């Protein structure tokens, strides 16, 4: 099965463009809304879709994404529904790379081997699991490698250089640069040392380094894209989504144009 994340990164690099990744919470405000947003995101030029699976105790998520997860959990949204949605999108011809964002507990409950199998067969390209250290759960990671399900690693500004090199080396697809000290959430301004941290990571690898956590305006996205290989936007999208799907679609379109230089 073709991995659309690998294909997309190759295409974007060949064109010397930047990558724009959008985070959505599965089932917020509904499964139908998530489906519509993924399809419209692809039309708007979004390069990667990060699909957050609702969890009751998300250690890396701030109030906005926690709220969206709580609302989805009230509707009993499940991992299986997420896989069915991805399968449905692939059957419709949707080719945007879809990366799972979630935590280990739901994966344990599902069954690690079964999760890797079902995620890949549904059409997912990768995983971002903040509470999965590279040194742990090696059997699960081996299963993911076997199925060409990429595990993307996060590197924080507080990560020591030696460990950062290890995480960058093990990251597959791209490297997720955590631009904030703390949890996710839109910010009016970003840390002054962000550019220096991005530059340091880019010197460690030829893989794309994408900045996430806190990016909330087209200007921020445009500015950070100049020193990174792209950006990831989540909480700011969810905030717009509180006003309705059309508001979120307009915002995603504006951010995509900012990242891609339109």
- What CA–CA distance (Å, rounded) separates 12 from 19? 7
| Of 42, 47, 61, 143, catalytic | 61
Nearest C-alpha neighbor of 150 from the set 139, 162, 141: 141
Using alpha carbons, list the distances in angstroms from residue 135 to 101, 115, 142, 208.
19, 20, 12, 23
Q: What are phi and psi of 50, to 5 degrees?
A: -100, 110
Structure tokens at 74: 């009230």
Residue 50 a catalytic site member: yes
Give the whole-angstrom CA distance, residue 193 versus residue 187: 15
Other beta carbons less than 10 A from residue 219's beta carbon: 9
Q: Element (H or E) spanning 58, and its range?
A: none
Catalytic residue, from 35, 42, 47, 50: name it.
50
Alpha carbon 171 to chain centroid distance? Answer: 13
Q: Catalytic annotation on 136? A: no
- Beta-strand runs (E) in the chain: 19-25, 48-52, 98-101, 126-128, 150-151, 153-155, 175-178, 209-212, 230-233
Q: Which residues are catalytic?
A: 50, 61
């Amino acid at each position: 099965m073709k991995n659309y994340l690998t294909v997309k990164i190759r295409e974007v690099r060949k064109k010397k463009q930047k990558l724009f990744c959008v985070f959505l919470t599965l089932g917020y405000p509904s499964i139908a809304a998530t489906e519509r947003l993924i399809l419209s995101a692809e039309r708007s030029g979004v390069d990667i879709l990060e699909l957050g699976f609702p969890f009751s105790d998300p250690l890396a998520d701030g109030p906005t994404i926690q709220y969206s997860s709580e609302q989805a959990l009230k509707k009993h949204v499940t991992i299986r529904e997420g896989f069915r949605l991805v399968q449905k999108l692939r059957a419709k011809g949707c080719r945007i790379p879809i990366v799972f964002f979630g935590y280990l507990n739901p994966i344990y409950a599902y069954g690690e081997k079964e999760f890797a199998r079902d995620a890949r067969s549904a059409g997912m390209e990768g995983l971002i699991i903040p509470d999965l250290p590279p040194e742990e759960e090696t059997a699960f990671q081996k299963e993911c490698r076997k199925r060409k399900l990429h595990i993307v690693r996060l590197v924080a500004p507080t990560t020591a250089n030696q460990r950062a090199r290890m995480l960058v080396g093990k990251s597959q697809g791209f490297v997720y640069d955590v631009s904030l000290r703390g949890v996710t959430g839109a910010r009016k301004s970003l840390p002054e040392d962000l550019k220096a941290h991005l530059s340091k990571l880019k010197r460690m690898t030829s893989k794309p380094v994408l900045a996430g956590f806190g990016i909330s305006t087209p200007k921020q996205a445009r500015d950070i894209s100049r020193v990174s290989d792209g950006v990831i936007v989540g909480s700011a999208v969810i905030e717009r989504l509180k006003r309705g799907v059309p508001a979120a679609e307009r915002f995603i379109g504006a951010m995509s144009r900012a990242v891609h230089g339109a």
